[in-house]
Amino acid sequence: MKSTFSIAFLILTIVGFSQNRPAGIVEPKLGLHELKIGANILRTGRTLLGSETKQHEGELSLGWNRWNYVFDFGTAKNERSGGYNYENKGSYFRAGIDRNFIKNVSTGNELSLGLRYARASFEDQLVYTTEDVGFGTQDINLTNSDLTARWFELNFSLRGKITAQLYTGFTLRWKFSRRISGEGMLQTFDIPGFGNTKRQNATSIDYYLMWRIPLKK
Amino acid sequence: MVGKANGNKKEAYMYFCEPMGKGRTVILILGILFGCQDIDNCTSDSNTDFMIVRFFDFETKAAKKVRFLVSTTEGSSLFGFPDDSLAIGLPLDPMDTSLVFVFDSDTSDFDYELEVRYDPTFQIFDPDCPPSLFFNGLDTLRSTFDSTSIQSIITNRQVLTNFEVYF
């Protein structure tokens, strides 16, 4: 119910902004005007610096007038230990649309608000030896081999030109309405692309480096 | 004296009401960030790996003190409760989904049996703590007590009774 309200609020906000234009001014129609290809340098950077979470993510963004059609794809591998071993690995994608509020969208700069649908396919494993509570010490080896998760995201993005066709910027994400399927005796702790499952909702920030290919002169 | 008090008031006003300097802004942001960090520790895990059985008199329905030696039919497990207890906590085997408990009382020649089913679930409560275990879907499969009643199907610190047993 909360998610339904959030989605409705976002759509109303985006539609409201898009209609807030002075009368008599006709906005030029750019049509399909750009393609941006990028990498999430925050996740890759953390991986290179030796984080226990190994992640890589790429982004494709297609600019159509004031709307950007965005597709992300990423992989993640988590290894946690401390008297136990927990491994979680898989991939995820996000697809969605952003409304760009920058005056001149043909510059490639962005200040946008958008919505994403995200889905992850992954597996996890726990290896652990229990304490003796009356049944002796027991070696636990649990695997969920076919896990899937889906969630939605409300995104706020900023992209700015560095030089030539090179752009950079961040995306703030609020992830909600998460659902996991395929769990057995082991409840999964990490979801690739989402984060840990301690809370039903999550927030994150991603930083991108992107190359812009103009599709209109 | 009055002047000093006024001076303190002014200082207090300046401290709280004047636009914040950069230093204070940074401290405030750091405070908010660290304030939002998880403060989980292993003791705040509310999962438990045992069920709680509470005893009642079948006729009067009053709480009943018992003295049992409890074992499982699988053999090796033996849990002693020598003191008079109104309720006992019985561990469940995470490698199985059902278990038969045998209640041996030194005041009676008759052994009672209670067979329960359950779904064991492991979770990482916090990466710095050992994996957490709890049991869900608790149910009675068979009982030689006069009557049993399920109060909660999940094992948890907040749960005071899983099974009520009347005999």
Same domain, B84 and B130: yes
- Count of all residues that appear for chain B in the document: 167
Q: Is the pLDDT of residue A63 over 90?
A: yes
pLDDT band at B15 (very low <50, low <70, confident <90, very high): very low
- Whether residue A86 and residue B95 make contact (CB cut-off 8 A), yes or no, is no
The closest alpha carbon to B104, from B81, B84, B83, belongs to B81
Chain A positions contacting chain B at CB under 8 Å are 80, 82-84, 86, 126, 128, 130, 133-136, 138, 140, 142, 185-187, 189, 198
Q: Is the pLDDT of residue A18 over 80?
A: no
Same domain, B150 and B69: yes
The closest alpha carbon to A148, from A185, A173, A178, A116, belongs to A178
- Buried b vs exposed e over A17-38: b needs ≥16 C-beta within 10 Å? eeeeeeeeeeeeebeebbbbeb
Question: Residues 6 or more apart from A156 whose CB is under 8 A from it?
Answer: A112, A113, A171, A172
CA gap A188, A86 in Å, rounded: 10
> Any CB–CB contact under 8 A between B166 and chain A?
no
Same domain, B3 and B52: no
Which residue from A minimizes the CA distance to B126?
Answer: A198
The pLDDT value recorded for residue A4 is 53
Question: Residues 6 or more apart from A160 whose CB is under 8 A from it?
Answer: A109, A110, A167, A168, A169
The pLDDT value recorded for residue A24 is 54
- Whether residue B127 and residue A133 make contact (CB cut-off 8 A), yes or no, is no
- Whether residue B119 and residue A189 make contact (CB cut-off 8 A), yes or no, is no
pLDDT tens per residue across span A101-158: 998 888 999 999 999 999 999 999 999 998 878 788 889 999 999 999 999 999 999 9
- Whether residue A84 and residue B38 make contact (CB cut-off 8 A), yes or no, is no
Please provide the average confidence, as pLDDT, over all residues in chain A: 88
Same domain, B3 and B79: no
Same domain, B106 and B58: yes
User: With contacts defined as CB-CB under 8 Å, which chain B residues touch A83?
Assistant: 130
Alpha helices, DSSP H only, in chain A? Answer: 2-18, 41-48
pLDDT tens per residue across span A144-196: 999 999 999 999 999 999 998 999 999 999 999 999 999 999 999 999 999 99
CB-closest option in B40, B120, B130 to A84: B130
Q: Is the pLDDT of residue A28 over 90?
A: no
- Whether residue A133 and residue B91 make contact (CB cut-off 8 A), yes or no, is yes
CB-closest option in A128, A135, A136 to B131: A128
CB-closest option in A80, A134, A185 to B122: A185
User: With contacts defined as CB-CB under 8 Å, which chain B residues touch A198?
Assistant: 38, 40
Query: Per-residue pLDDT averaged across B16-23, rounded?
Result: 54
- Whether residue A185 and residue B120 make contact (CB cut-off 8 A), yes or no, is yes
The enclosing domain of B51 has a CATH number of: 2.60.40
Mutation site for B-interface testing, chosen from A130, A144, A188, A197 by largest number of B Cβ within 10 Å: A130
Q: Is the pLDDT of residue A31 over 90?
A: no
CB-closest option in A83, A133, A185 to B49: A133
Share of chain A above pLDDT 70, in %: 87
Same domain, B29 and B97: no
CA gap A147, A137 in Å, rounded: 28
pLDDT tens per residue across span B34-51: 555 555 578 888 999 999
Residue listed under structure tokens 């070696």: A139
- Whether residue A138 and residue B94 make contact (CB cut-off 8 A), yes or no, is yes
The closest alpha carbon to B92, from B15, B162, B32, B10, belongs to B162
ipTM of the complex: 0.77
pLDDT tens per residue across span B77-134: 677 776 788 898 999 999 999 999 998 877 777 889 999 999 999 999 888 888 999 9
Which residue from A minimizes the CA distance to B48?
Answer: A133
pLDDT tens per residue across span B63-90: 988 888 888 877 666 777 767 888 989 9
Same domain, B128 and B113: yes
> Any CB–CB contact under 8 A between B122 and chain A?
yes
Same domain, B93 and B21: no
Same domain, B47 and B31: no
| Cβ-based contacts under 8 A for chains A and B | 56
Question: What is the residue range of B45's domain?
Answer: 41-166
Query: Per-residue pLDDT averaged across A23-45, rounded?
Result: 82
pLDDT band at A22 (very low <50, low <70, confident <90, very high): low
CB contact at 8 A, A57 and A73: yes
The pLDDT value recorded for residue A1 is 46
B89 by Cβ neighbours in 10 Å (0-12 / 13-18 / 19+) ranks as middle
What is the DSSP code string of B51-74?
Answer: EEEEEE-TTT--B--EEEEEEETT
Q: How many helices (H) and strands (E) does chain A have?
A: 2, 11
User: With contacts defined as CB-CB under 8 Å, which chain A residues touch B131?
Assistant: 84, 86, 126, 128, 140
Chain A closest-CA separation from residue B79 CA (Å): 8
Chain B closest-CA separation from residue A50 CA (Å): 17
> Any CB–CB contact under 8 A between B89 and chain A?
no
Same domain, B30 and B45: no
Q: How many domains does chain B have?
A: 2
Share of chain A above pLDDT 90, in %: 71
Same domain, B98 and B143: yes
Same domain, B153 and B88: yes
